[in-house]
Amino acid sequence: MPELPEVETFKRYIERTSLRRPMVHLDVRNDLIIRGIQRMDLIDAVEGGELLSARRHGKWLFLELSGGGWLTWHFGMTGRPVFFEGEFEPRFARALFRFQHGALAFVDPRMLGRLGLTGSPDEFIKERRLGPDALDITLDRFVETFRSSRGPVKTVLMDQRKLAGVGNLYSDEVLFQCRLDPLRDVRSLSEQDLVCMHRAMRRVLKRSVLVGTDFDLLPRSYLLRVRGRGARCPRCGSVVQTVKLGGRTSYYCPGCV
């Protein structure tokens, strides 16, 4: 699933390709990607205007509409934006924002992403009760959040109401960087553990954005480079293990925790 670095990369991509382009038509191919509004309300809000600016919070992208309000965009498990010119559109395009020149496609093979409208990003964030963005949260707020939580540390790290933007992949990396078992009770974490997590989270997310979320370009010391059956820990060489947590497969090194 696209997490904070992927959505930040999508944001920058849209800023480079699709802002300030007069939009002539919005082609919604499947209503499953629309949530909370009617198809025609979305079309009326978008057509004839422009996308003025982009903002991201956690895993959500917001696009400012010249006619007022913001488009909300969540990418689900497999969604991504693709700008193209010409008549050969990408496969699995579920919505097409057609400009006078070129088009922006919402490509989503599994159709788990969604588009919607909101009056403002701040209003949306409040309604959804999203936590602070993972790149904006201060150390004090981070420590306070974890001190007031219960359960496995990985579950807390992925809770979007506590901290927005970190999902299954990057939570594994943050915990690996700090030598923490994903099943460890959050109440047992020391101050040093929490400081390490906050620093590692910011470092890992920023590094992934820097390389355009290409894991092959991450440092060789990162677990994200070796995830998979039979992989070995880049730190100690132990075989990386998996554990199911909240329906997700978590990767960790038993030799490092």
List Cβ<8 Å contacts ≥24 apart for 213-220.
Answer: 213/5, 213/6, 213/9
Distances (CA, A) of 139 to 65, 180, 193: 34, 18, 12
Three-state DSSP state, 246: coil
Eight-class DSSP state of 56: E
Token readout for 71 is: 């488009």
Q: Is 242 within 8 Å of 233 (Cβ atoms)?
A: no
b/e map of 80-106 (b: 16 or more CB within 10 Å)? bbbbbeeeeeeebbbbbbbbeeebbbb
Q: Which of 80, 114, 162, 248 is an active site residue?
A: 248
Annotation marks residue 87 as catalytic: no
Annotation marks residue 173 as catalytic: no
List the one residue out of 86, 76, 80, 101 whose CA is nearest residue 18: 101
Cross-strand bridge partners of residue 176: none
Q: Which of 11, 21, 56, 59 is an active site residue?
A: 59
Q: Which of 2, 121, 152, 182 is an active site residue?
A: 2
Q: Is 2 within 8 Å of 75 (Cβ atoms)?
A: yes
Q: Which of 3, 6, 8, 173 is an active site residue?
A: 3
Longest dimension (CA), the chain: 58
Annotation marks residue 2 as catalytic: yes
Q: Which residues are catalytic?
A: 2-3, 59, 248
